[in-house]
């Protein structure tokens, strides 16, 4: 399918708008690029570094045990940054799609910043958990605690049992929550179109979802400021540009 850029933009945008306007069930798969215009770092862009470390090196159980203070400083910074953010118009477009579009719409996000729910999306699957709460690293059985300014006042935060706390996110090398994963795959197996927004398509099993749609010959509309491994796939309509601008334009074109 065509890629946006100059005169072809209308063709790609019109194709995408028709797909979205005619769908009965839509899955919107989002990654760090959805939050980047709201100021949250991505993982792999040039802003994906943090104090000379790659994000992937920090989001691991080993890093948390080896240097809990550093990893918690990184999460605290991301959490506090995301708390200040107002979701950009791309989030509002997805809320409108869910509430006013004709299709049953579910957001399946890899992001842990909670911005989709904050924007008002109601049906959100958080594949990698969220930074809302933290649990005992040694699973002593204590209930999860809310991550707030008080908890972050002393890093790393500890469980009443004395062990370290860990954010309730899925770290690299850890399995995803069974129920979220199963629901995401079930929705991907039934949707009529999948929007893939702001993801580099590198982290599995989340990255398997768009492939599942393409294997079923379900069209994928990719919104990204760059190309990814699926951009040139014949089943993909690629809309080149930032989510905060492209998504509102897509909904306007679809008359939603």
Q: Which residues of this chain interact with Zn ion, rule CB under 5 A?
A: 136, 140, 142, 159, 161, 163
Rule CB under 6 A: is residue 198 a binding residue for ligand BV8?
A: yes
Burial of 66 per CB tally in 10 Å (0-12, 13-18, 19+):
exposed
Rule CB under 6 A: is residue 110 a binding residue for ligand BV8?
A: yes
SS3 30: strand
SS3 139: coil
To Zn ion, the closest distance from the beta carbon of 157 in angstroms equals: 11
To ligand BV8, the closest distance from the beta carbon of 251 in angstroms equals: 15
Among 19, 28, 63, 128, binds ligand BV8 (CB under 6 A): 128
Determine which one of 116, 128, 211, 238 is catalytic: 128
88 counts as catalytic: no
DSSP string computed for 107-119: EEE---S-HHHHH
Q: CA-based diameter of the chain, in Å?
A: 63
Rule CB under 6 A: is residue 33 a binding residue for ligand BV8?
A: yes
Burial of 175 per CB tally in 10 Å (0-12, 13-18, 19+):
exposed
Beta carbons within 10 angstroms of residue 221's beta carbon:
26
Rule CB under 6 A: is residue 130 a binding residue for ligand BV8?
A: no
| Positions in the binding site for ligand BV8 (CB under 6 A) | 31-33, 36-37, 42-45, 48, 56, 59, 110, 112, 128, 169-175, 198-200, 202-204, 206, 223-226, 228, 242-243
């Amino acid at each position: 399918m065509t890629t946006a850029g100059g005169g072809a933009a209308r063709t790609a945008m019109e194709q995408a708008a028709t797909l979205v306007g005619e769908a009965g069930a839509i899955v919107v798969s989002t990654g760090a690029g959805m939050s980047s215009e709201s100021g949250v770092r991505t993982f792999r862009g040039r802003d994906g570094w943090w104090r000379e470390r790659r994000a992937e090196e920090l989001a691991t159980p080993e890093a948390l045990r080896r240097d809990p203070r550093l990893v918690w400083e990184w999460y605290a910074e991301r959490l506090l940054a995301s708390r200040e953010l107002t979701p950009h118009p791309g989030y509002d477009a997805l809320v409108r799609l869910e509430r006013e579009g004709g299709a049953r719409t579910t957001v399946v996000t890899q992001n842990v910043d909670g911005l989709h729910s904050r924007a008002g999306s109601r049906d959100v699957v958080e594949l990698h958990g969220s930074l809302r709460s933290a649990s005992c690293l040694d699973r002593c059985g204590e209930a999860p605690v809310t991550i707030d300014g008080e908890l972050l006042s002393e890093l790393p935060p500890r469980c009443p049992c004395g062990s370290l706390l860990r954010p309730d996110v899925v770290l690299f090398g850890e399995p995803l929550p069974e129920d979220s994963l199963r629901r995401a795959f079930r929705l991907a197996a039934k949707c009529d179109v999948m929007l893939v927004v702001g993801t580099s398509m590198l982290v599995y099993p989340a990255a398997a979802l768009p492939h599942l749609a393409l294997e079923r010959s379900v069209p994928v509309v990719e919104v990204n400021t760059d190309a990814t491994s699926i951009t040139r796939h014949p089943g993909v309509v690629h809309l080149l540009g930032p989510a905060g601008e492209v998504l509102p334009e897509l909904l306007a074109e679809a008359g939603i």
